[in-house]
Amino acid sequence: MQLNYIHDFTLNTKQDFLAVQQKLKRLIHLSNAIDTDSLQTCAGVDLAYWEENGESFGVCSIIVLDVHTKKVVEKVHHFGNINVPYVAGFLAFRELPLIVEAAKKLTIEPDVFLFDGNGYLHPHHLGIATHASFFLNKPTIGIAKTYLKIKNHDFKMPDNQIGAYTDIVIEGEVYGRTLRTRQDVKPIFLSCGNFIDLESSYQITMTLINQESRLPIPVRLADLETHALRKYYRD
């Protein structure tokens, strides 16, 4: 898969990170509707980390699914050292090197990528799903398992029925949705990544939910794969 290299990975200070985010924020497009009937493939992306002998390591897994059959058609991963320090609000800079290397191994170009993490639901609107979209040049969606509180704003719990949601509106702007994908199960936190609108993100996400998890199938499979790969590389 061909990627766009919009910046290098030698950045390691908060000032550098913020400058990149401010530049990319102006290039976000959340107005592109996607017809779910036209989708053929989608990918789930997740990462896992661990420490060993004073060093940080990580692995990124990408699972590509046939949207219609819900069968896995490709899976790739990349394992390596983590050299970028963790700075709150700038996690994407830590994760992107692994994501990019894994995505380069794809022989199938997914129509949309779903990330285990946030997208527009981020203090600077540059969660991993949004930031990665500029490298992938594909529509992206953020699927977070826990809520990232922004500007001290709490979310409103949706009704206890499948498909119910409440929009997360902060200072008059919609950042994402609190979405109930399974009855009697905790909600997930949906946000656009880039090159897609919120309603399309919602419809795609709901299309990919089954009875096994509150997470969309490709995200759940990528999550399981990263845990297995972490165990493999640590052992």
Place of tokens 């661990």: 50
CA torsion through residues 49, 50, 55, 60, sign: negative
Q: Say if residue 116 carries a ligand binding annotation.
A: yes
CB atoms under 10 Å from CB of 19, counted, come to: 13
Q: Is 46 labelled as part of a ligand binding site?
A: yes
Q: What type of residue is 80?
A: G
- State the binding site for Mg(2+): 46, 116
